[in-house]
A and B are shown apart, each in its own frame.
Chain A
């Protein structure tokens, strides 16, 4: 019997399809699934690529770094899991050759190194590089170019390291897990771990870093990491996998979350369209259902027929959605081609399953109640048309829809709490916008007495259909709002950023300037007529106490993980306040009469760490501690590209501490050779080319926002489907009244004018609501996230309302074309 039901369901479905009854349902499903799938596949692929990239970068999937050798039980467990392992020892030591001494960073590696990625070496200076998969053989070392230069040795010479004499086997160009920070660039050396003992440089009390590398399949890695994390000592640190490059991962996580949220919104909007279309479908099938019952179909048969139909629509719509999603995702890859690390791995099947399931769940969640109604159509309706089935309880309808959405978000994000929070956020936003919609409709109602002709009739149409119009305006404005916000941020932010930066904004930073290099460097810069922002002294120190309370205890809870507490900060001193800095609290010290140990604090960090004027701050550098009192809070324009500091001391406070200098300067592209000369002359300096990084940042920002807009098109499409679905629910009604009006002598032109007015007002209101919401969102984003002066965007208001109106007019006229095409006679006859 079930088979028979499926066959019959399929046949009836085909008939409905031919009659165009299913278009909206299928399109809505398709959009929801395409949106989920494309974003799912894309983020999945980028995530895999980034994990892979991180592993290559680190030389392994996971690295356990420790200040002492680790418990052998850890290695045993990794062995049991079948993880590949490699050990490293990192230390600083003096290298001797040709009577030259040079401190260098030594990395001793075993024969398994690297577990991932490759090492790049060269056999002679400036010769072609070659890529190898293993470190130096026993008895040989590989030196970085700088080290070769300083020691004036070449490949084949010998160098002394402690008690051992080792042969220079190659020039080390690049190897995985290189310097972790650009600031600590001692020339590097790679050696074989088995040679370390012979050097006798490693003694009890030596400052050593042990690194243990692990690689293996991701599930085993995860098991290992989960097992290891609670066993880590305070001196041990596990990096790699998701923890590998935290900044990048956080950005990626945020982007993923944002994109999933957008895809979720398109699912919700598609769900609304589905609910509307299903309602219309069910209303139009009341007679069919009554007839089937009359012909002897049991309720079970009726429900089975319609459920199978629903499932078939769901499967077909979702399958096509997956296909469209895959293609759309390829488009996304093209847009972001420059930004995506390396070659993307092949598509995994997981996002397809998620997308497909989501489609079917959305359809069931939003359409089932309407179809369940068909089951309870009394057969007597065949004789008495006025008999309607009992309405389905709205509690049931809403709870089913909400459960469907929660289920999908859960499948997608795996985090129930987050899901509920996000969903409540969306609901709150929708509720506020709904209130605004009601207000707007109410206001436009006031206009009615002043209008005539099509204007009046058009407005009356809106008021007549206000229930469905509310939903139309709401869905459209939410979709438009998201697009506008992104558009606004992209154009406005980039524009402001670009106009804010003077053309000669510094594009190079120089760090690691030693005190004895300050004067020669100044001279060099003036000879080459390079304009620098000045040389700023700095001491690297860690903030340890606020008012003599340990800093971790002293700061607010949410700041306990602040990056500034985890690393050494650059601390400077000066008598005059820097350009682009502004005192916002307190008074800047007077040059001559300044007492020592006053501190000026940047406002952002002051706010985060809850530092106020009068607080005592203690810092630790190497083994010394210094303390000062906060006397001013300062705003800093970070994007001015001059050296900026969180903490600035009054002059004289830090005399005698180990320090280096930092500077930045502007160098036009055509004078890059000056930079090379500088590096040759002062080999100890590190020059960072900001403009290259900036170009990259701009490109990324541009591409990412473009990609986001591209993805958001799905949201807009979903919003449009809601519009079309709701137009369709009123279509029969519209045809009827148009026919009557035409029979009474109204011209087609007149009826079209009414439609244009109606759809125009609808679009205008949606655009208005969208831009109002966008401005509010942008206000908070500017103020809280970007720290820019909030602005009002008149051009966007016009754009929003005009495009809203055009969008709705075009869509509306297209989908109501049947109204004017149907000859009055035929309808009256029917």
Chain B
């Protein structure tokens, strides 16, 4: 499969079909036993652990099903974290801007356990985009949310994706969600197949 810059792609599959594993491989979180993942002409297999880490830092953002916010950090601190890891000394301003963009300007100093599921995922989205990545990987981003909240999160994710001109690769088992992406891949019994958009 090949995904072009700026495209949005969904990977559909039933539970246990291996779609999350595929996402992990594409994001360089894991290394494949066979086959190749190439991002911007760089084969991930040629990179060592640290090389992969640098690649993730520079190019990728992540949104997870279970949000993965650090419980002891406030919303703002959570969003600042990726910038700080890169050594940025002025992380607060972009983090605040992004949190305002996702509608949480009033919630900067709240801890994750003081936020609703939808709010937590919005923090996670802000965190994914704060480093201006070229690719955002999303793993079942609405899996833990009710339908209405999930819809709003997806709208936000797509809007942010357009605004930042990032590539979005999203794993989901929700066909209606997948249908909002430009391309849909189905993973079935270990075989990937691209479905044409109707």
Chain A residues proximal to chain B, CB less than 8 Å = 1, 4, 7-8, 11-12, 15-16, 18-19, 21, 287-288, 291-301, 378-380, 382-385, 830
Contacts and interface: CB of A to CB of B under 8 A. Distances in A.
Contact of A383 (B20, B50, B70): B20
Interface string B143-173: 0000000000000000000000000000000
A298 B84 contact: no
Interface of B: 20-21, 23-24, 27, 29-30, 49-50, 53-58, 60, 62, 64, 66, 68, 70-73, 77, 81-82, 84-87, 113, 131, 139
21 contacts: A4-B84, A8-B84, A11-B84, A15-B72, A18-B72, A21-B72, A294-B62, A296-B54, A296-B60, A296-B86, A297-B57, A298-B54, A301-B53, A378-B29, A378-B30, A382-B139, A383-B20, A383-B21, A383-B24, A383-B64, A384-B21
Contacts of A16: 72
A301 B24 contact: no
Contacts of B66: 385
Contacts of A4: 84, 87
Contacts of A294: 27, 29, 56, 62
A378 to B, nearest CB: 7
A295 B85 contact: yes
Given A4-B84, A295-B81, A296-B86, A380 B70 contact: no
Contact of A15 (B23, B57, B73): B73
B64 A293 contact: no
A19 B113 CA distance: 12
Given A294-B56, A296-B82, A297-B85, A15 B70 contact: yes
A300 to B, nearest CB: 7
Contacts of A12: 72-73
A375 to B, nearest CB: 11
B29 A379 contact: yes
Q: Which of A8, A293, A294 has the most CB of B within 10 A?
A: A294
* A-side interface mostly: helix
B81 to A, nearest CB: 7
Contact of A298 (B30, B50, B131): B50
Contacts of A378: 29-30
Contacts of A15: 70, 72-73, 77
A19 B77 CA distance: 14
Contacts of B113: 830
A1 B87 contact: yes
Nearest to B130: A295
Contacts of B30: 378-380
A829 to B, nearest CB: 10
A19 B112 CA distance: 12
A295 B78 CA distance: 12
Given A15-B73, A292-B85, A298-B50, 17 more contacts: A8-B85, A16-B72, A292-B81, A295-B57, A295-B81, A295-B85, A295-B131, A296-B56, A297-B53, A298-B53, A298-B54, A299-B53, A382-B29, A382-B62, A383-B20, A384-B21, A830-B113
Nearest 4 CB-CB pairings of A with B: A296-B57, A19-B72, A15-B72, A296-B56
A287 B68 contact: yes
B49 A296 contact: no
B7 to A, nearest CB: 21
A1 B85 CA distance: 9
A299 B70 contact: no
Given A15-B73, A287-B68, A293 B24 contact: no
Nearest to A376: B49
A440 to B, nearest CB: 39
A15 B80 CA distance: 13
B68 A382 contact: yes
A278 B44 CA distance: 34
A16 B27 CA distance: 29
A299 B68 contact: no
B146 to A, nearest CB: 13
B49 A299 contact: yes
B179 to A, nearest CB: 23
Nearest to B65: A383
B180 to A, nearest CB: 22
A15 B72 CA distance: 5
Contacts of A385: 66
Q: Which of B23, B58, B71 has the most CB of A within 10 A?
A: B71
A170 to B, nearest CB: 78
A384 B24 contact: yes
A298 B49 contact: yes
Contact of B29 (A11, A287, A380): A380
B64 A11 contact: no
A7 B57 CA distance: 19
Contacts of B82: 295-296
B18 to A, nearest CB: 11
Contacts of B50: 298-300
Contact of B58 (A1, A287, A296, A382): A296
A731 to B, nearest CB: 15
Contacts of B27: 294
A1 B57 CA distance: 15
B198 to A, nearest CB: 29
Contacts of A384: 20-21, 24
A18 B60 CA distance: 30
A291 B70 contact: yes
A19 B71 contact: yes
B120 to A, nearest CB: 11
Contacts of A830: 113
A385 B140 CA distance: 14
Nearest to B111: A19
A380 B54 CA distance: 15
B140 to A, nearest CB: 9
A343 to B, nearest CB: 50
B70 A288 contact: yes
A383 B56 contact: no
Contacts of B72: 12, 15-16, 18-19, 21
A376 to B, nearest CB: 10
A15 B23 CA distance: 31
Contacts of B56: 294-296, 379
Nearest to B66: A385
B76 to A, nearest CB: 12
A288 B73 CA distance: 11
A382 B84 contact: no
Contacts of A379: 29-30, 53, 56
A260 to B, nearest CB: 39
A298 B62 CA distance: 17
A291 B73 contact: no
A553 to B, nearest CB: 72
A8 B85 CA distance: 7
Nearest to B64: A382
Contacts of B73: 12, 15
Nearest to A14: B72
Q: Which of A4, A294, A383, A385 has the most CB of B within 10 A?
A: A383
A11 B88 CA distance: 14
Nearest to A830: B113
Nearest to A302: B53
A19 B74 CA distance: 11
Contacts of A296: 53-58, 60, 82, 85-86
A383 B53 contact: no
A406 B126 CA distance: 50
Contacts of A288: 70
A383 B85 contact: no
B136 to A, nearest CB: 12
A292 B50 CA distance: 13
Nearest to B128: A295
A19 to B, nearest CB: 4
A159 B190 CA distance: 120
B55 to A, nearest CB: 8
B53 A291 contact: no
A16 B82 CA distance: 18
A382 B29 CA distance: 9
Contacts of B54: 296, 298
